[in-house]
Amino acid sequence: MQSASPLTKVHSTFADDLNAYMKSHREQDYLLIDVREPIEYELGHIPGAKPIPLGRFEARISELDSDREVLLYCAGGARSRVATAMLAASGLTPRAIFNVEGGFSAWDGKPLQDLPRVKAFDGLTGLPQILTAAMNLEKGAWRFYAALLDRHPSSPFAQTAATLVKLEREHARVVHRLLSRYSGGGALTDFDQMFAELSGDILESGEALEPALARAESLALQPCVAFAELALDIEYHAYELYRALSEQNRDPEEKGAFLTLAEQEKGHIRLIAGRLEDCFEQ
């Protein structure tokens, strides 16, 4: 999931517009991909869609036809957004790539609230500010996974959440080390104290964690899937942040550190994608 080829066009479309798209294009001109789990596909899917679960998507990208436009959808848009990034970075250059926002839930007429989005980093200047915000992002992800474990200790996603709780804290520690290096020589609060003091407010408009968790539970999705999609959204935006920071930086050591963090976030994405099938085990 590196930068897309300049030949690759990436777009968003909406479930409400999908019927019009399908009517105005010949079937041989596009490929519709469902990246949900097989049981979700069996329970209902958009006619003509090819099932490729997100956890297997990277390994099966070679099956796609580069001469066609590719449209990807999931339940609500988070999994297909990740698949879109994987495809854009794969070296395959379809005529266009579309993420179907709202996914099958919106296409099927179900009400679908927006999943909470990671808070923007607009307006930040200077590496120390950016790194502090990045550390807060890690704290926010840590809070989310910890809250998920507390609320749903028997959830099929709980084991993955427990792993991610540890990974997010370690990521925050790495960012703290970078912040120590680039804070201009000033004294920096030790990691444990700074991590404890961070708010972990990762949502738009300063939305608190409890309402966000409640909103995820109210989505017209299976609860385990709703939390997994929110987790993918968090990790995807963290990945994009670190990748952007690496591209903006000229210092080789600093650039390498951000690339390492981005690669680790990509590992988190693969971990979540590979465990989505757990949501449907009986």
Q: Provide the strand spans (E) within 83-201.
A: 97-101
Which of 92, 117, 112 has the alpha carbon at shortest distance from 102? 112
Which residue is it, tokens 């999908």?
18
Active-site pick, 32, 54, 71, 74: 74
Which residue is it, tokens 């964690």?
209
Q: Are 54 and 91 in contact (CB under 8 A)?
A: no
3 state SS for the chain: CCCCCCCCCEEEEEHHHHHHHHHHCCHHHEEEEECCCHHHHHHCCCCCCEECCHHHHHHHHHHCCCCCEEEEECCCCHHHHHHHHHHHCCCCCCCCEEEEECHHHHHCCCCCCCCCCECCCCCCCCHHHHHHHHHHHHHHHHHHHHHHHHHCCCCCCHHHHHHHHHHHHHHHHHHHHHHHHCCCCCCCCCHHHHHHHCCCCCEHHHCCHHHHHHHHHHCCCCHHHHHHHHHHHHHHHHHHHHHHHHHHCCCHHHHHHHHHHHHHHHHHHHHHHHHHHHHHCC
Whether 224 sits among the annotated catalytic residues: the reply is no
Residue positions annotated with a catalytic role: 74
